[in-house]
């Protein structure tokens, strides 16, 4: 099977479900994968590892899911479904995009490994396609051009994942501890006179509120999008 492309969530889900042990289903395997990734990180997820976790033989799992990448596709699409489960989107295009972005951010912060999957390759499944369907439909008052609408969705996605990535990096490094350790060095830079604009911030670094920062940046992005389409907001 070397060189065979991953099947993706849609094709994996369309495979006939094997008969036999009813307790070992595709849903059970995916749920176990989510738990393992949350507990130990993405690298810990493997068919053999999940088999041991579920008290089953690896071959039993392979009857449901052929390879790890297919499992990751299903896990990713499961999280996309979590974004949809939070209820319908608001009617306005701007509010709809803000809600989707906020939900994606919170899902990725709750499952830090999810943001890393974005960087590996495109992952398309029923839930992610429905997510795009709803976003494009919400954008109709702004533009009927599908290409332009997808560009808007991608711009908001790029901003959201970029912000999440930065949040996760700071959280993983323990920003409070880092700031404390760096304070003497930053104070020295502030006192050097070489950075007059940044001197107040270097002398007294304050962690900004992540929610407020995300909302402000997203608002600026949406303001620019509205202006480019000749709208006030």
Whether residue 208 is found in the same domain as residue 153: yes
Domain tally for the chain? Answer: 2
The enclosing domain of 175 has a CATH number of 1.10.357.10
The DSSP secondary structure of the chain, one letter per residue, reads -TTPPP-HHHHHHHSPPPPS-TTS-HHHHHHHHHHHHHHH-GGG--HHHHHHHHTS-HHHHHTT--SHHHHHHHHHHHHHHHHHTT-PPPSSHHHHHHHHHHHHHHHHHHSTHHHHHHTTS----HHHHHHHHHHHHHTTTT---HHHHHHHHHHHHHHHHHHHHHHHHHHHHTHHHHHHHHHHHHHHHHHTSS-TTTHHHHHS--PPPHHHHHHHHHHHHHHHHHHHTT---
Domain that holds residue 27: 8-75
Q: Would 67 be classed as within a structural domain?
A: yes
Predicted local confidence at residue 175, as pLDDT: 63
Q: Would 233 be classed as within a structural domain?
A: no
Whether residue 149 is found in the same domain as residue 51: no
Boundary of a domain, candidates 75, 97, 125: 75
Residue 65: name the closest of 27, 118, 110 by CA: 27
Whether residue 26 is found in the same domain as residue 103: no
Q: Would 1 be classed as within a structural domain?
A: no
* Model confidence pLDDT, tens digit, residues 142-162: 999 999 999 999 999 999 999
Whether residue 195 is found in the same domain as residue 220: yes
Chain mean pLDDT for the chain: 87
* Model confidence pLDDT, tens digit, residues 193-218: 999 999 998 888 777 789 999 999 99
Predicted local confidence at residue 208, as pLDDT: 74
Q: Would 83 be classed as within a structural domain?
A: no
Q: Would 2 be classed as within a structural domain?
A: no
Q: Would 143 be classed as within a structural domain?
A: yes
Whether residue 138 is found in the same domain as residue 186: yes
Whether residue 119 is found in the same domain as residue 171: yes
Q: Would 171 be classed as within a structural domain?
A: yes
* Model confidence pLDDT, tens digit, residues 5-61: 555 555 555 555 544 445 789 999 999 999 999 999 999 999 999 999 999 999 999
* Spatial distance between the Cα atoms of 111 and 103, rounded to a whole number of angstroms: 12
* Model confidence pLDDT, tens digit, residues 103-145: 999 999 999 999 888 777 778 899 999 999 999 999 999 999 9
Whether residue 118 is found in the same domain as residue 151: yes
Boundary of a domain, candidates 21, 53, 75: 75
Whether residue 49 is found in the same domain as residue 137: no
The enclosing domain of 51 has a CATH number of 1.10.10.60
Q: Would 194 be classed as within a structural domain?
A: yes
Percent of the chain with pLDDT over 90: 66
Whether residue 121 is found in the same domain as residue 206: yes
């Amino acid at each position: 099977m070397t060189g065979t492309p991953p099947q993706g969530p849609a094709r994996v889900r369309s495979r006939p479900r094997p008969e036999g042990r009813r307790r070992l289903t595709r849903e059970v395997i995916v749920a176990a994968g989510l738990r393992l990734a949350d507990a130990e990180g993405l690298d810990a997820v493997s068919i053999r590892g999940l088999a041991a976790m579920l008290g089953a033989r690896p071959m039993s799992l392979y009857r449901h899911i052929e390879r790890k990448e297919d499992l990751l596709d299903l896990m990713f699409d499961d999280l996309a479904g979590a974004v949809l489960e939070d209820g319908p989107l608001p009617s306005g295009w701007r509010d709809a995009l803000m809600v989707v972005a906020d939900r994606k951010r919170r899902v990725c912060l709750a499952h830090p490994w999810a943001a890393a999957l974005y960087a590996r390759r495109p992952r398309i499944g029923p839930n992610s396609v429905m997510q795009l369907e709803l976003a494009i439909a919400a954008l109709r008052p702004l533009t009927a051009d599908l290409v332009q609408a997808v560009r808007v969705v991608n711009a908001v996605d790029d901003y959201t994942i970029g912000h999440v990535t930065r949040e996760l990096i700071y959280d993983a490094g323990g920003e409070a501890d880092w700031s404390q350790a760096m304070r003497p060095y930053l104070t020295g830079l502030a006192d050097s006179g070489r950075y007059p604009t940044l001197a107040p911030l270097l002398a007294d670094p304050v962690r900004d509120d992540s929610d407020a920062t995300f909302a402000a940046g997203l608002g600026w992005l949406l303001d620019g999008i509205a202006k480019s389409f000749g709208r006030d907001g």
